[in-house]
């Protein structure tokens, strides 16, 4: 029997080990991103000056470079914190990709190919984090919203609790509902 679905190689990876590796990659990368933003937070004018100096030969207005520098600090800080916590991991990875696109655009305009190469590594890690988000078992995302690791729906503690509470309220209210409304008309 043939199927149109692609069959990938069975590499024998243990899903629990992949989830654990995902956890460590997410936290380590989150620390890197968070610390990049955190250390710049206390010297935003210096970081703005450094970016403006690096982009001096580019066509971009200095004001735009300085505004971008401020945004970079806060995006790095927030994305890093979310990755460390494993909260809104998918959104954090997408926001990280967007930041990397802005930074890649800037460094390639001034033809800083060494930095561009380093930024490609960040993009590969963001790719792994986004593509492998189903292995984000050990996170606040999994605790609060459930996990879909291994392609199966995981336990959703918050939704289960809400369903229990709302379901109980629904049952309690049902005894006060008239069931034969309109039958006697």
3-class secondary structure for the chain?
Answer: CCCCCCCCCCCCCCHHHHHHHHHHHHHHHHHHHHHHHHHHHCCHHHHHHHHHHHCCCCCCCHHHHHHHHHHHHHHHHHHHHHHHHCCCHHHHHHHHHHHHHHHHHHHHHCCCHHHHHHHHHHHHHHHHHHHCHHHCCCCHHHHHHCCCHHHCCCCCHHHHHHHHHHHHHHHHHHCCCCCCCCCCC
Give the pLDDT of residue 1.
Answer: 47
Regarding pTM above 0.75, the answer is: no
C-alpha torsion angle, residues 42, 44, 47, 52 (rounded to 10)? -170
Instruction: Please compute the mean of the pLDDT values over residues 141-151 and round it to a whole number.
Output: 68
109 in a structural domain: yes
The boundaries of the domain holding residue 52 are 15-139
110 in a structural domain: yes
For 147-175, the pLDDT digits (tens) are 554 333 444 545 544 555 566 555 555 55
169 in a structural domain: no
The total of structural domains in the chain comes to 1
For 2-34, the pLDDT digits (tens) are 555 445 555 678 889 999 999 999 999 999 999
Please determine, for residue 145, whether its predicted confidence score (pLDDT) is greater than 50.
Answer: yes
For 36-62, the pLDDT digits (tens) are 999 999 999 999 999 999 999 899 999
82 in a structural domain: yes
Give the pLDDT of residue 149.
Answer: 41
123 in a structural domain: yes
For 67-91, the pLDDT digits (tens) are 999 999 999 999 999 999 999 999 9
Q: Calculate the CA 95 to chain-centre distance.
A: 7
Instruction: Please compute the mean of the pLDDT values over residues 81-103 and round it to a whole number.
Output: 96
34 in a structural domain: yes
- Distance of CA 112 to CAs 33, 66, 76, 152, Å? 21, 18, 21, 44
Give the pLDDT of residue 14.
Answer: 87
36 in a structural domain: yes
Give the pLDDT of residue 152.
Answer: 35
Rounded to whole angstroms, the Cα distance separating 179 from 25 reads: 56
120 in a structural domain: yes
Q: Given pLDDT bands bounded at 50, 70 and 90, which one contains residue 97?
A: very high
């Amino acid at each position: 029997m043939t199927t149109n679905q692609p069959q990938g190689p069975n590499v024998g990876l243990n899903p629990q080990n992949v989830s654990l590796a995902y956890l460590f990659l997410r936290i380590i990368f989150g620390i890197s991103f968070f610390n990049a933003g955190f250390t710049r937070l206390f010297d935003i004018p210096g970081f703005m000056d450094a970016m403006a100096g690096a982009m001096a030969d580019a066509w971009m207005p200095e004001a735009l470079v300085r505004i971008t520098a401020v945004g970079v600090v806060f995006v790095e800080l927030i994305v890093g914190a979310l990755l460390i916590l494993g909260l809104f991991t998918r959104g954090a990875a997408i926001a990280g990709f967007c930041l990397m696109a802005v930074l890649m655009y800037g460094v390639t305009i001034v033809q800083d190919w060494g930095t561009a190469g380093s930024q490609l590594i960040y993009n590969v890690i963001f790719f792994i984090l986004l593509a492998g988000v189903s292995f984000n078992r050990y996170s606040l995302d999994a605790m609060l919203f459930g996990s879909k690791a291994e392609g199966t729906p995981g336990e959703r503690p918050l939704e289960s609790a809400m369903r229990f509470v709302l379901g109980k309220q629904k049952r309690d209210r049902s005894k006060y509902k008239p069931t034969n409304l309109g039958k006697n008309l």
